[in-house]
Amino acid sequence: MKLSGKLQPRKMKHIEMSILNRDIDRVIEFMGHWALMHLSAEDISSQDLDGASYRHIQENLDRLAKAAVWLGVPLPQEPEESSHYPGEAEMVLTNTIITVVSSLSDQEKKCQEEKRKVEETLNEAKAFTKLNVSFSDLDQLSYLTLRVGRLDSRRQDELRHNLSDQAVIIPLDSGGEGRVLAAASRKGRFALDSELKKMNFVPITIPEGYKGVPSELLSGLETRFKGVEKELEDIDKRKKALREEYGASLQKLSASYLMAGIAEQLKCRLVSTQNVYLLSGWVPAGVVQTLVEDLEEITEGRIAIRAYDPEELDRVREGKEKVPVYMNHGAFVKGFEKVVFSYGAPLYGTIDPTPLVAISFCLLFGIMFGDLGQGMVIFLLGILMGKSNHKFFSGFKKFSVPLMSVGIASMVMGLLTGSFFTNEEILTGPTRVLTTLMTGSPMDRILNLMPISHMGGSVVKLFYFFGFTVGLGVLLTSTGLIVNTANQFFLKRYDKAFFSKAGIAGILFFWYALFIAIRFIAAMIRPEAFVFSFHWFDIMGLMIPLLGIFLGPGLWRLFSGVRPVFSEGFIVFIVEGFVEIIETVSTFASNTVSFVRVGAFALSHAVLAYIVFRFSEEVSAIPIGTAISILILIFGNTVIILLEGMIVAIQVVRLQYYEFFSKFFTETGVEFSPFRFRKLQ
């Protein structure tokens, strides 16, 4: 099932499902895989997880995790797309794997412990090989207790078991004579002698005067040590075979139990009776019919489903619950959703600003960071993040499309300014050809931000460019005001649509103030053609919108029948009105002037590139200057891409947040967050 729609918030439906106990697991499995339903918070309880099924699942997960750690198999952190609810077959396979792995793991532990004890004993014995003391006296001089004798080979395993880690029993022959060496630490001496006595151990007399430790005993210890090492090697081979045999099954089982755990968490919190569960939430209206058909097929018709429009629910009309906003964008616009949702989700039923953000973000970034080569690096970095499966880049995959988009914008601006990795000469030839075809006269560069005459720039042209960036600010601010006005109409908040500073009154004031400013600037630039004068209608054009902002809320309450007219009192109403007017004027002025920073950062980028290029050009004239020049270009471009690129990105985000979003994000909504098993979908 696929969701499809336009580049705007989708229409939502509230779904209530009554599900039999026998079908709830399959329904949750279906909903979790397809990620279609945003669960309603009011229908989910916060009770503790204490169900037997949940504990059983967690126990199996722990057992599988221990087996996987021992085998060296990495386990998934969340369910796979193919995961399903574990049944009897999965339980049998789980027990089989755990039994086999546990048995081999215990065997490995025993061998490792025996290896440790044999190694310690061997090292102790070697320490006394050259000691000029009778063997019979070693029992009094060392921390090692040695007993050599005969013991029925059938009882040697019993002796090992009884002594546990207190002693080491080493067979000294393989001919069935039953000769053994028993070694223990000083503190285990009495336990060793006691057990040996019970087992009818017969000591072997060491020749009188024999000095040190008999070589026969040392060779026995060494043989046993090598034997234990061989056993560990065999265990390691079996371990690798088990990893190949059961590795994929361990991962698949773990993913299934993770899915079952998430499902059980949801089940524990659902409203339910002994036989029926109630599952409710929000789904896109366009998939309701398909969803119902799929669920009826899964449950064989044993399900009751009811769908409601948002306005049919009392809790939505009363503002107790917000309808989640689901965006269904193409790849380009979707890449900028995080910019919007990091500030806040739009209210359901309002305009989706994401397409506007995507376009304006790229435009502003490109203007402030114009260089063909540097933009190409950002573009290629975006491709790398999107295509690479490397662990480092996979965490940044969501930034792939935005990076490619701003990289293209930077490349376009670089073509206009004639900059390629700060070099101002490489693109001169192609630019002359292009401008000749377009205008009939060649130009070294289409746009020159540097106010240097021999480069074709001037302060006047620079001020024109700053005027252009302010014009972009006016356009973006006006768009924000229009979006807010439309949203208020959609939400039926007509008082705010007409009389707020971000409504029609604010738009009229802002646009008329701009009209006056344009007349004034035109008169300054061309006084022979334009004469600026302030007329009575200018006063009316400014005062009428401001009066609407000042008196509008009270007049609306008066004529709409809302009482009292002055909810906080007349004095408070007057003070709030004056504050609102002051804030309106100052906000519009600061928002407009704020976009001068776009031109300022574009100029600073051009100046920094000019410095790097000229510095490398001057250095190239000295001995080995070419190599130094290349190093300067590499270092300079790297600093510009990393440092200035980050600064420009921050400035673009700031302009979006404070100059655009602030116009219509007066209240945030809820982002559509469906129930799903895989968080990384």
What pLDDT sits at residue 31? Answer: 92
| Residue 468 included in any domain | no
d(CA 643, CA 637): 10
Model confidence pLDDT, tens digit, residues 309-354? 999 999 898 888 999 999 888 889 999 999 999 998 999 989 999 9
Contact 414, 374 (CB under 8 A): yes
Q: What is the four-CA torsion angle of 622, 624, 630, 631, rounded to 10 degrees?
A: -100
- Give how far Cα 112 sits from Cα of 67, 80, 102, 219, 601, Å: 18, 37, 15, 20, 67
Residue 451 banded pLDDT, cuts 50, 70, 90: low
| Residue 92 included in any domain | yes
For residues 24 and 139, membership in a common domain is answered with no
What pLDDT sits at residue 474? Answer: 95
d(CA 51, CA 70): 29
Which DSSP category does 134 fall into? B
| Residue 560 included in any domain | yes
* Interval 412-426 mean pLDDT: 89
What pLDDT sits at residue 64? Answer: 93
Model confidence pLDDT, tens digit, residues 567-597? 888 898 899 999 999 999 999 999 899 999 9
For residues 333 and 450, membership in a common domain is answered with yes
- Among candidate residues 562, 593, 624, the one where a domain is terminated: 593
What pLDDT sits at residue 216? Answer: 60
- Among candidate residues 531, 560, 593, the one where a domain is terminated: 593
For residues 198 and 97, membership in a common domain is answered with no
What pLDDT sits at residue 563? Answer: 83
Residue of 22, 4, 179 lying closest to 85 (CA atoms): 22
Q: What is the four-CA torsion angle of 151, 157, 159, 165, rounded to 10 degrees?
A: 130
For residues 285 and 249, membership in a common domain is answered with no
What pLDDT sits at residue 434? Answer: 85
For residues 384 and 309, membership in a common domain is answered with no
| Residue 195 included in any domain | yes
For residues 137 and 242, membership in a common domain is answered with no
Question: Does residue 176 register a pLDDT over 70?
Answer: no
Question: Does residue 136 register a pLDDT over 90?
Answer: no
For residues 504 and 579, membership in a common domain is answered with yes
Average model confidence (pLDDT) across the chain:
85
Residue 1 banded pLDDT, cuts 50, 70, 90: very low
For residues 79 and 140, membership in a common domain is answered with no
For residues 569 and 579, membership in a common domain is answered with yes
Residue 215 banded pLDDT, cuts 50, 70, 90: low
Residue 363 tokens, joined: 């435009």
d(CA 463, CA 468): 9
Residue 162 banded pLDDT, cuts 50, 70, 90: confident
Question: Does residue 166 register a pLDDT over 80?
Answer: no
d(CA 579, CA 446): 46
| Residue 125 included in any domain | no
| Cis peptide preceding 564, ω within 30 of 0 | yes
d(CA 64, CA 260): 14
For residues 535 and 628, membership in a common domain is answered with no
Q: Is residue 149 packed enough to be buried (19+ CB in 10 Å), middle (13-18) or exposed (0-12)?
A: middle
Which DSSP category does 174 fall into? S
CATH of the domain at 310: 3.30.70.240
For residues 176 and 153, membership in a common domain is answered with yes
Contact 208, 201 (CB under 8 A): no
| Residue 304 included in any domain | yes
For residues 366 and 436, membership in a common domain is answered with yes
Strands 276-284 and 38-39: antiparallel
Residues β-bridged to residue 15: 281, 307
- Give how far Cα 338 sits from Cα of 81, 343, 602, Å: 24, 8, 25
Residue 204 tokens, joined: 């072997």
| Residue 556 included in any domain | yes
What are the strands, taking DSSP E only, across 468-508? none
What pLDDT sits at residue 578? Answer: 92
Question: Does residue 281 register a pLDDT over 70?
Answer: yes
Question: Does residue 143 register a pLDDT over 80?
Answer: no
Half-sphere exposure of 314 (CA within 13 A, CB side): 1
- Parent domain of 22: 10-42+270-324
Residue 205 banded pLDDT, cuts 50, 70, 90: low
Helix (H), strand (E) at residue 14: strand 12-20
What value, to the nearest 5°, has the Cα angle with vertex 85 and ends 81 and 91? 120
Residue of 608, 16, 38, 655 lying closest to 306 (CA atoms): 16
Backbone region of residue 270 per phi and psi (left: phi > 0; alpha: psi in -120 to 50; beta: other values) = beta
d(CA 211, CA 214): 8
Q: For tokens 């009428």, what's the residue?
A: 544
Residue 274 banded pLDDT, cuts 50, 70, 90: confident
- Among candidate residues 300, 324, 348, the one where a domain is terminated: 324
What pLDDT sits at residue 456? Answer: 55
Model confidence pLDDT, tens digit, residues 472-490? 999 999 999 999 999 999 9
How much of the chain, in percent, has pLDDT values that exceed 90?
46
State the total domains in the chain.
5
CATH of the domain at 174: 3.30.70.2750
| Residue 173 included in any domain | yes
Residue 257 banded pLDDT, cuts 50, 70, 90: very high
What pLDDT sits at residue 462? Answer: 82
What pLDDT sits at residue 300? Answer: 93
Model confidence pLDDT, tens digit, residues 58-80? 999 999 999 999 999 999 988 88
